[in-house]
Amino acid sequence: MAVVDLSRLSPLAATPTGWLEAVLANFDAFLMDHASAEKKASGMAMSMVSHYPDKPSIVRAMVELAVEELNHYREVMRLILDRQLTPAADLKDPYIHELNGQVRKATEFFLLDRLIVGAVVERRGAERFALVADNLDGEPPLARFYRSIATSEKRHWELFINLAAHHFDESVVTERFNELTETEAEVVKTLPLRAALH
């Protein structure tokens, strides 16, 4: 598979100060939202499999991804149950909703944009899970868990970028990624700070 030169990609805007405090102040709520996010990520990967049965690179990667995200879901759900919490209902994620709204529906753009939105979302996840991991000093096992999740999500955003480059010119991929990175930064600014991944 093509490998993109990541140094040509725009940097991710830093998560606003205050987000981490909101998460640490209500970690139970964060866990609930995190579980939902993993379940939705798995579902998204399976929807890619259904949508592109004729593209073996997509099918192979997305089946693997769906299983991995579902494993994350299982692990977060174990944490929730260990805390004697009742899992919360899935809520609409305004961040994901806004970014999915950037996907152009025309056939020539649809796959590119879905892959790029996937990359942008996974990259933000990697950044935020690493922030959480770095700030759980009193809870080494939980910090280790979030470190491993951050490592997986980093691998995922690179996977989406490389899949995009497998199907489109690298310059097209880089340009669209940089555009959507800018849009994502604007979306992040508009969202309230809460104990949720986004």
What residue spans of the chain are helical by DSSP H? 19-25, 27-51, 56-82, 94-100, 107-134, 140-167, 170-190
Give me the least distance between CB of 106 and Fe ion, in Å please: 26
Query: Sign (positive/negative) of CA torsion 66, 69, 71, 73?
Result: negative
Q: Which stretch binds Fe ion (CB under 5 A): 37-45, 49-57, 80-88, 127-135?
A: 37-45
Give me the least distance between CB of 20 and Fe ion, in Å please: 19
Compare residues 128 and 176 and give the one whose CB is closer to Fe ion: 128
Check: CB of residue 166 under 8 Å from CB of residue 2: yes
Compare residues 62 and 187 and give the one whose CB is closer to Fe ion: 62
Binders in 145-164 for Fe ion, by CB under 5 A: 153, 156
Verify binding: residue 123, Fe ion, rule CB under 5 A. no
CA 146/CA 138 separation, integer angstroms: 13
Compare residues 72 and 114 and give the one whose CB is closer to Fe ion: 72
Check: CB of residue 180 under 8 Å from CB of residue 120: yes
Which two structure tokens, joined as six digits, stand for 76?
């977060």
Q: How many CA atoms lie within 13 A of 169 on its CB side?
A: 4
Give me the least distance between CB of 76 and Fe ion, in Å please: 9
Give me the least distance between CB of 34 and Fe ion, in Å please: 9
Compare residues 63 and 172 and give the one whose CB is closer to Fe ion: 63
Verify binding: residue 93, Fe ion, rule CB under 5 A. no
DSSP 8: G
Q: Which stretch binds Fe ion (CB under 5 A): 30-38, 74-82, 113-121, 166-174?
A: 30-38
Contacts of 141 (CB under 8 A, 6+ apart): none
Verify binding: residue 69, Fe ion, rule CB under 5 A. yes
Give me the least distance between CB of 130 and Fe ion, in Å please: 13
Compare residues 33 and 69 and give the one whose CB is closer to Fe ion: 69
CA 192/CA 188 separation, integer angstroms: 9
- Chain residues that interact with Fe ion, rule: CB under 5 A: 38, 69, 72, 122, 153, 156
